[in-house]
Chains A and B, each alone.
Chain A
Amino acid sequence: MEFKPLTSGDRPKIRFLVVDDSVFARKNICKMVEAFGGEIAGEAGDGIAAIAKYNDTHPDIVLMDITMPKMEGIEAVERIVHDHPEACIVMVSSVGYQDNILSALQKGARHFVQKPVKPEAFYEIIRYVLSENSETTRPAEAEVQP
Chain B
Amino acid sequence: MNMDLIQPFINSLDAVISETMRCSARIADVTMEEGNYQRTGIAALVLLSGDLEGRIILDMDAAAASQAASELSEITGPPSEETTREIVCELTNMVIGNSVTQLNDRGFKFRVHPPELFLIDVGPWGTLDSETVLLRFELPKGAVYLNIAVHEHMDALVGSPA
Chain A interfacial positions (CB closer than 8 Å to B): 21-25, 28, 67-69, 93-99, 114-116, 118
B19 contacts which chain A residues (CB < 8 A)?
Answer: 116, 118
Residues of A near B73 (CB, < 8 A) are: 24
Q: For the complex, give the distance between the alpha carbons of A139 and B92 in Å.
A: 45
Q: Within the complex, what minimum Cβ distance (angstroms) separates B10 from chain A?
A: 16
B83: nearest chain-A partner, CB-CB:
A24
Q: Is there a chain A Cβ closer than 8 Å to B58's Cβ? A: no
B97's partner among A28, A68, A99, A115 (CB-CB below 8 A) is: A115
Q: Does B64 contact A (CB under 8 A)?
A: no
Q: How far is the CA of A22 from the CA of B115 in the complex (A)?
A: 9
User: Would you give the 0/1 interface string for B81-113, flagging 1 where the beta carbon is closer than 8 Å to chain A?
Assistant: 001001101100111111011001100010011
> B97 contacts A96, CB within 8 Å?
yes
Q: Type the 1/0 row for B18-42, where 1 means its CB is closer than 8 Å to any CB of A.
A: 0110000000000000000000000
A23, A24, A94: the one contacting B96 at CB < 8 Å is: A94
B93 touches A115 (CB 8 A): yes
Known A96-B98, A115-B93, A116-B16; 16 more pairs at CB < 8 Å: A24-B72, A24-B86, A24-B87, A28-B90, A67-B93, A67-B113, A93-B97, A94-B95, A94-B96, A95-B97, A95-B101, A96-B97, A97-B105, A99-B109, A115-B94, A115-B97
Cβ of B114 under 8 Å from chain A? yes
- Give the nearest-CB partner of A70 in chain B: B114
Q: Can you name the residue of chain A whose Cβ is closest to the Cβ of B95?
A: A94
With both chains docked as a complex, state the minimum distance between the C-beta of A31 and any C-beta of chain B, in angstroms: 8
Taking the closest CB of chain A, its distance from the CB of B35, in whole angstroms, is 29
With A93-B97, A115-B97, A116-B94 as known contacts, state yes or no: A67 contacts B86, CB within 8 Å.
no
A93 CA to B100 CA in the complex, in Å?
12
A118 nearest in chain B by CB position:
B19
| A75–B28 alpha-carbon span in the complex (Å) | 41
Complex CA–CA separation, A24 to B71 (angstroms): 13
- Set of chain B residues within 8 Å of A116, measured between Cβ atoms: 16, 19-20, 94
In the complex, the answer to whether A23 meets B86 with C-beta atoms within 8 Å is yes
- Cβ of B95: which chain A residues have Cβ within 8 Å of it? 94
Cα of A70 to Cα of B87 in the assembled complex, Å: 21
Q: Which B residues touch A22, using CB under 8 A?
A: 86, 89-90, 93, 115
Known: A22-B89, A68-B114. A94 touches B83 (CB 8 A): no
- Contact of A94 (CB < 8 Å), options: B87, B98, B105: B98
Chain B residues with CB under 8 A of A69: 114
A21 contacts B100, C-beta separation under 8 Å: no
CB-defined contacts of A94 to chain B, threshold 8 Å: 93-98, 101
Query: Known contacts A97-B104, A99-B109, A116-B20; is A21 also within 8 Å of B97 by CB?
Result: no
Report Cα–Cα, A96/B16, bound state, in Å: 14
